[in-house]
Chains A and B, each alone.
Chain A
Amino acid sequence: MDFQEALKQDFGEAVSFDPQILHSYAHDMGEMPKALTLMIKGRPQAVVVARSAKDVSTLLRAARSLNLPLTPRGQASSGYGGSLPYRGGIILDLSSFNRILKIDTDKGQVDVEPGVVWEDLAHRLIPHNLENRICPTSAPSSTVGGWFAVGGTGIGSLQYGDLLENVLEIDVAVPDGTIRTCSGPDMLPFYQTNGTLGIVTRLRLACRKAQSLRTIACAFLNAACAVHFLDTAAELAPYSATLQSAGYCAMLAKAERRDPAIQEGFLLSLTLPETGFNPAAAAILAEAADGTMLDAALGEAEWERRYYPMRIKKAGPSLLVGECVIPFDSFAQFLIETQKALPSDHFGVEAYAVKGRKLAVLVYIFDNAADFLYPLRMAKALIPLYTAIKHGGRPYATGMWFAAAAKYVYGEEKLGLVREIKKKTDPQNLLNPGKLEGPSLPFLPFLNLSRCILAAGKILAPVAARLSYTKHLRPQTEGEKL
């Protein structure tokens, strides 16, 4: 029996080998240059749509007996390549494995399957007077399991931290198909590691009690002032905070064909519980940080569009995105050095405040993936990552393309633990291969593609930084302080 017959026997209509269907799974949110995607076997040989934990277990066992790589995929709403195969095999589509299993109103907990979409969950919690504690800005499409696999911070992280801090328990199907229940530190190896050690089949999330939120908007002359305000505003018990540079506001204004919210410095949106909401107190703190309170409607509008950070791509057509996490205290210097390293470009910065005085930062540069110099210019996306590492920060996630940066993302200790578990439980390296160490090149297996990307990026970034596609907006000048 060949692998197709075997999978058909197990999954019937839920498996497909149709080349048209397989092709749809050969990409995620990232716009990678052809030269790069040709180096991996990104098209799977089969796709299985799972709808239960039993499906996941069965497929893990089948993949092992068929010796086929297995790549789990949620909504593929990140661009790191974590849900892309690199040596073919089977894609496990988890987006239909999406029931809400139990809502415990008294305990403020919800049990969900991994394919549940964050925004759908928010809707379902409303009648129970509960809300998600945190969610990604891609909440209308991204899944709970997918965000756990990538690891993340987002809206609400200022109060509640990263996702792991808000997950109470998981069921995870490990490579031999058995399902384990983990909580506390036992969950750590499975978090952020792109499903390389196991596929989460249930998550228990802590929720917050529903409460109305209000968002205020303030303008600050520079990053240092904005960060100072964030420190002092802790006394207001904020739920969430977002910073947008004037460069980002200009990009957004271009996409939305309107005037930018600010001309220089930073726009800070601070979201607070309505109970005890005191804009006067916030205004005093803003003034003390050389900031200005803006129109109340602007804050509310920023909250309304919180799920639409990519709206700027409308003015692209493409975007180079550098994503990193950086301590509050390094943010201003990080920006100065990023600006210095990108002298030819107009770029935008958006950052989400995270508990523990950190910022999850996105640096956006307009580009065009169809342009022949795009692959070279992509090196610019690495500038913020290297700058963040230099200043005590780290890349936001690994996926496939940045797998070689795992030691920065996970930390050395966790990486060691993860490698040890992988070796023990998946000696054939079938479960999402290429996402812990990085994929090896097909014809030069001693070379690691992710390491090549990171090294080439470092070497080429200074050259790439001289090449600008930005026809839309002029580069920022020294006078336009971030």
Chain B
Amino acid sequence: MNAHMLEHGGAALPGIAADALDTCARCGFCKTGCPTYPFGGGFETYSPRAKVFFLKEYYEGRATLSPEWVDRLYRCTTCERCQTVCQTEIPLIHLWEKIRSEIVEQGLGPMPAHKKIRDFAAQFGNPYGESADKQAQWLLPEHKPVDEADILIFGGCTASYKMPSMLQSGVTVLTRLDIPYAYAGGAETCCASPLLRTGQIAAAENCISCNLDLFAQKKARYIVTPCGGCSKTLKYDYPAFARKLGKTFDATVMHFSEVYAQLIREGRLKPSIFTPKKVTFHDPCHLGRSQGLFAEPREILAAIPGVKLVEMPRNREESRCCGAGGGVKANYPQMAAAIAADRLREAEETGAEMLVTMCPFCQGSFAQAIQESGSGMQLSGLDALLLASLPEQA
């Protein structure tokens, strides 16, 4: 059963089903950690624990993928909290994505908004249906990308088209330090994160294939991106797809925060403008739990004179999701907004005046939450805060 499943990023589903699902301790740690479970009316059935129980029954032939179960299985931001608290270390994210890909293969999904993402990605190369002509419009006059360099900037769709400030700040930092960078504005395709997370493997493969060709053509040694979803996908999904597609992919993928932290350690980046701010930091799921980037943002904040960090009770690995990932913001916008509002309240309770994050997706969620709640909380990308503390001539 399910032997036809595409293998990427781990073992094929039958192996996982046999080994991992059986080891579920049913302890419920995943349930209390899940940001979407409370939005299922409080019924156990919407918890990751119940989903694991269902998957075991499904793979053993005692349950079917009803429309209700398909809906429940898409009510997940793939924030990975369930996976990090799992007593028996079940690779839950892999399971969620695998079952979604099976749902798609069987024609039972994805959800309507996800189909739109797929169609836009196929037609325009991005999930927003924006023209590729607009992809490089975020570039500021002072930005000077070159044709070929060790560093290739991968803007990502959300940053390029919707929330450009992190991308602009990051590239400005590189420009000020005279670090050469290439950029393929107009030729970049969606990294495929929203497609992979929603189980649309074939569509994802097309996007990935285009980008792999682009990376090979640009001969980049480092691919740098401001986006949590893009960096996760490029780091962990692209190598497996490159092997499958018989293409080369040997670049090192870095999120901008990794670059800043490295430059600070090397003494090349010296924030010196006093920035008296009491801030709290939201760890983006796909950067923190997925990539382990917990120390870097804190290192950067600590280097900015005047910035005082007050942590939310749930930080680092325990951080709460902003609600946007896994296709949830696209198909369940009200739930996503409510999750972001909850997290915003946590931030407010710290007494911080500013909420800082480092993923355009998270920033978009919080911008909406602040607007809708009328909160007085300021919102900033880590990049912008860093940039403001740098003298014009770094």
| A interface, CB within 8 angstroms of B | 13-14, 16, 18, 20-21, 23-25, 27-29, 47, 49, 51, 75-77, 93, 95-96, 117, 119-120, 123-124, 126, 138, 140-142, 255, 307-308, 310-311, 313-314, 316-318, 368-370
Given contact pairs A120-B32, A138-B27, A310 touches B41 in the complex (Cβ within 8 A): no
Q: How far is the CB of A474 from chain B (nearest CB, A)?
A: 21
Q: Given contacts A20-B68, A140-B33, is CB(A313)–CB(B41) below 8 Å?
A: no
Of residues 1 to 31 in B, which have CB atoms within 8 Å of A's CB atoms?
19, 22-23, 25-29, 31
11 A-B interface contacts by CB (under 8 A): A21-B45, A24-B43, A24-B44, A49-B41, A75-B32, A77-B28, A93-B43, A138-B29, A255-B88, A311-B88, A313-B88
Q: How far is the CA of A75 from the CA of B27 in the complex (A)?
A: 8
Contact A20 B69 (CB under 8 A): yes
Distance between Cα atoms of A363 and B314 in the complex (Å): 34
Give the chain B neighbours of A370 by CB distance below 8 A. 22
- Whether B307 sits at the interface, judged by CB under 8 Å, is no
A27 B53 Cβ-Cβ under 8 A: yes
Q: With A310-B87, A314-B88 in contact, do A20 and B19 touch (Cβ < 8 Å)?
A: no
A contact residues around B28 at 8 Å (CB): 29, 75-77, 138, 141-142
CA distance A119 to B31 in the complex (A): 13
Nearest first, the 5 A-B pairs at minimum CB distance are A96-B42, A317-B22, A141-B28, A49-B42, A314-B88
A214 to B41, CA, bound (A): 41
User: For residue B314, which residues in chain A have a CB less than 8 angstroms away from its CB?
Assistant: 123
Q: B43 and A310: CB pair below 8 A?
A: no
> How many angstroms from the CA of A394 to the CA of B81 in the assembled complex?
37
8 Å CB contact of B87 from A93, A96, A313? A313
| 8 Å CB contact of B42 from A14, A29, A141, A311 | A14
Whether the Cβ atoms of B43 and A77 lie closer than 8 Å is: no
Determine how close the nearest CB of chain B comes to the CB of A434; give it in whole angstroms: 20
CB distance from B69 to the nearest CB of A (A): 7
- Chain B residue numbers with a CB within 8 Å of A95 are 42, 44
Expressed in whole angstroms, the Cα–Cα distance for A368 and B22 within the complex equals 9
B183: min CB distance to chain A, Å: 43
Bound-state Cα–Cα, A314 to B24, Å: 8
On whether the beta carbons of A316 and B42 are closer than 8 Å, the reply is: no
Q: Which residue of A lies closest to B68 (CB)?
A: A20
Residues of B within 8 A of A75 (CB): 28, 31-32
For residue B85, CB closer than 8 A to chain A, the reply is yes
Quick one: which of A27, A120, A317 contacts B26, CB cutoff 8 A?
A27
Interface centre among A117, A138, A308, A369 (most CB of B within 10 A): A308
A140 touches B85 (CB 8 A): yes
Q: Tell me whether A25 and B89 are in contact in the complex, defined as CB-CB below 8 angstroms, given that A140-B29, A310-B27, A314-B23 are known contacts.
A: no
Q: Which residue of B lies closest to A119 (CB)?
A: B32
Q: Which residues of A contact B41 (CB under 8 A)?
A: 13-14, 16, 49
Instruction: Chain B residues near A77: list those with CB within 8 A.
Output: 26-28
- List chain B residues, Cβ under 8 A from A141: 27-29, 31-32
A307-B23 Cα distance, complex, nearest whole Å: 17
Decide: A20 near B45, CB < 8 A? Known: A310-B88, A317-B23.
yes
* Contact indicator B25/A29 (Cβ below 8 Å): yes
Measured in the bound complex, the distance between the Cα atoms of B87 and A28 in whole Å is 16
Chain A residues with Cβ below 8 Å from B42 are 14, 49, 51, 93, 95-96
Q: Taking the nearest CB of chain A, how far is it from the CB of B81, in angstroms?
A: 11
Q: Bound state CA distance, A51 and B45, in angstroms?
A: 17
Question: Is B309's CB within 8 Å of the partner chain A?
Answer: no
State whether the Cβ of B313 lies closer than 8 Å to any Cβ in chain A.
Answer: yes
* 6 additional A-B residue pairs with CB within 8 Å, beyond A29-B25, A140-B27, A311-B89: A14-B42, A18-B68, A47-B43, A75-B32, A140-B32, A314-B89
Does B203 make an interface contact (CB < 8 A)? no
How near does chain B come to A198, taking the closest CB pair, in angstroms?
A: 22
How far is A29 from B31 in the complex, measured between Cα atoms in Å?
A: 13
| Contacting pair B29 A93 (CB below 8 A) | no
Docked complex Cα distance between A176 and B27 (Å): 32
Q: Is B129 an interface residue (CB 8 A)?
A: no
* A311: B residues at CB distance < 8 A: 87-89
Most chain B CB within 10 A, of A51, A310, A368, is at A310
Q: Is B38 an interface residue (CB 8 A)?
A: yes
Residue pair B26, A29 in contact (C-beta under 8 Å): yes
Cβ-defined partner of B27 (8 Å) among A18, A29, A123, A316:
A29
CA–CA, A16 to B45, complex, Å?
11
Whether the pair B88, A20 counts as a contact (CB closer than 8 A) is: no
Residue B393 interfacial (CB < 8 Å): no
A55 to chain B, nearest CB (A): 11
A67 to B54, CA, bound (A): 31
Question: Which listed residue, B32, B50, B313, touches A24 by the CB 8 Å rule?
Answer: B50
A316 surroundings in chain B (CB, below 8 A) = 22-23
- Residue on B nearest A115 in the bound complex, by CB: B42
Complexed CA–CA distance, A20 and B68 (Å): 9
Residue numbers in A under 8 Å from B88 (CB-CB): 255, 310-311, 313-314
Question: Does B66 sit within 8 A of A, measured CB to CB?
Answer: yes
Question: Which chain B residue has the least Cβ–Cβ distance from A319?
Answer: B25
B residues less than 8 Å from A24 (CB atoms):
43-45, 47, 50, 53-54
Q: Which residues of A contact B53 (CB under 8 A)?
A: 24, 27
